[in-house]
């Protein structure tokens, strides 16, 4: 794994792209991605 620093917005965009393109292994993985996406959006909206 690369040792790279990214912003929360970059991570959110990456997760959104994975969801939109169907780049996940199964429905459980998609649910995890959507949940993570929602939590990042909530944190960014409420705390920053």
Domain holding 12, by residue range, is: 8-47
Round to whole Å and give the CA distance between 22 and 24. Answer: 6
**Is the Cβ–Cβ distance between 39 and 10 less than 8 Å?**
no
Q: Is the pTM of this model over 0.75?
A: yes
- Residue 21 resides in a domain: yes
Task: Kindly state whether residue 41 falls inside one of the protein's structural domains.
Answer: yes
Mean pLDDT across 24-34: 98
> pLDDT category, 14, cuts 50, 70, 90?
very high
**3 within some domain:** no
Contact 33, 19 (CB under 8 A): yes
Is 27 part of a structural domain of the chain? yes
- Report how many domains make up the chain: 1
1 in a domain, yes or no? no
């Amino acid at each position: 794994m690369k040792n790279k620093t990214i912003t929360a917005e970059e991570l959110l965009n990456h997760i959104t792209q994975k969801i939109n393109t169907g780049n996940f292994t199964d429905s459980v993985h998609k649910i995890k991605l959507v949940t993570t996406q929602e939590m990042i959006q909530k944190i960014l909206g409420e705390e920053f």
